[in-house]
Amino acid sequence: MQLHLQLWWKGCGPMQYRTFGKTDWKVSEIAFGGWQLGGDFGPVDDAESVRTLHAAWERGINFVDTAQMYGRGHSEEVIGRALKEWTGEHIYIATKVQPVQWPRATETDPSMEGRYPREYVRSQCEDSLRRLGLETIDLYQLHGWFPQGIEQTEWYDTLSELRKEGKIREFGVSIRDYRPQDGARLAASGKAASQQVVYNLFEQRPAEQLFPACRDNGVAIIARVPFDEGSLIGNWSADTYATFGERDVRRVYFKGGRFAKTLDRVNRLKADIAAATGESEVNLAEIALRFCLDDSAVSCAIPGMKNVHEVDLNVRVSDGRKLPAEVLEVLSRHKWPRNYHNPDEE
């Protein structure tokens, strides 16, 4: 994958850009994940969210991912407000439409039939355009991909119509948590410009089958959940779970014994990295983000950012440096794929 080097705004430093699949888009490899803007990870200050988005764009981030279901449209509204006040270069906006009914997390091969009816998708696209204040959405994604969609193509026909009408520029899919293999056949079909997938230090399986399929077929990869919803930042303690509010999705993702198991895994990971590098302090967040960018199949990673300080920490990782071989070897021993939506299962 071709890399493009450019200066950050105001001379802050370098930002790497990558070609987004078969398009001519040059997107920042560190992009902006917008779920937290909707308030699903705790209370948010919209004014601070707008400042955070502007700071990210000033530092070279030019791709934002959101969805209709993030805060029931609130994330899109905040991004729309920030765009209205923005006078700089083009910002690529990616959003998603959820199915009318999600399958159970335990279903391995759910039908696509009826998940994305034509009129529903068209209506939801119009609502997203209104909330974002846009005439055209750069990337419109199915929030859940189900492989029977290869044959059951109402979704494809509808999105193709929207693209022809100029409502969207490209369309892609978001692969279900825990099922990266679901996108391989789709990549070969040529039906989607991009695939978004969970990829992090614990969930490394996309690199085995999905990434080669996407690379071979010119499909862009958006790496989501690079910090494992926070655990791979490396600053959790035994008391952290108690700080998650009642509406914080992490109360579900890490409920029961999942939080303690995750914290133990993180501490063991940090200890192994320290032993391999000889460093007493391990910046796990930096390693986690560099890991996502290490594979050239990845077009961008989309960490969430709540404030300008988090933006600065993330953009500094975009300097073209690779992780040392000894660190990669350690990371390969810490694979731990699990289903976020079944926290009682391993």
**What integer pLDDT is reported at residue 188 of this predicted model?**
97
**What integer pLDDT is reported at residue 343 of this predicted model?**
63
For 143-212, what is the HEC assignment?
A: EEECHHHHCCCHHHHHHHHHHHCCCEEEEEEEECCCCHHHHHHHHHHCCCCEEEEECCCCCCHHHCCHHH
252 is a domain residue: no
332 is a domain residue: no
254 is a domain residue: no
Q: Which domain holds residue 220?
A: 3-234+286-323
Q: How far apart are CA 39 and CA 110, in angstroms?
A: 30
Sheet holding 14-19, edge to edge: 3-7, 14-19, 26-28
Burial class from Cβ neighbours inside 10 Å (0-12, 13-18, 19+) for residue 333 reads exposed
115 is a domain residue: yes
Q: How far apart are CA 158 and CA 166, in angstroms?
A: 13
Q: What is the pLDDT along the chain (346 residues), one digit of tens a residue?
A: 333 333 333 334 578 999 999 999 999 999 999 999 999 999 999 999 999 999 999 999 999 999 999 999 999 999 999 999 999 999 999 999 999 999 998 899 999 999 999 999 999 999 999 999 999 999 999 999 999 999 999 999 999 999 999 999 999 999 998 899 999 999 999 999 999 999 999 999 999 999 999 999 999 999 999 999 999 999 999 999 999 999 999 999 999 999 999 999 999 999 999 999 999 899 999 999 999 999 999 999 999 999 999 999 999 999 999 999 999 999 999 999 988 777 666 5
Q: How far apart are CA 164 and CA 146, in angstroms?
A: 24
Q: Is 315 helix (H, G, I), strand (E, B) or coil?
A: helix
Output the domain CATH number for residue 18.
Answer: 3.20.20.100
**What integer pLDDT is reported at residue 171 of this predicted model?**
98
**What integer pLDDT is reported at residue 339 of this predicted model?**
85
pTM: predicted TM-score of the whole model, two decimal places: 0.95
305 is a domain residue: yes
280 is a domain residue: no
Q: How far apart are CA 150 and CA 131, in angstroms?
A: 30
Count of structural domains within the chain: 1
* Contact residues for 60 (Cβ-Cβ < 8 A; gap 6+): 6, 7, 8, 9, 12, 15, 28, 315, 318
272 is a domain residue: no
Q: Is 138 helix (H, G, I), strand (E, B) or coil?
A: strand
Residue reference for tokens 């917008």: 34
CA 252 to chain centre: 19
209 is a domain residue: yes
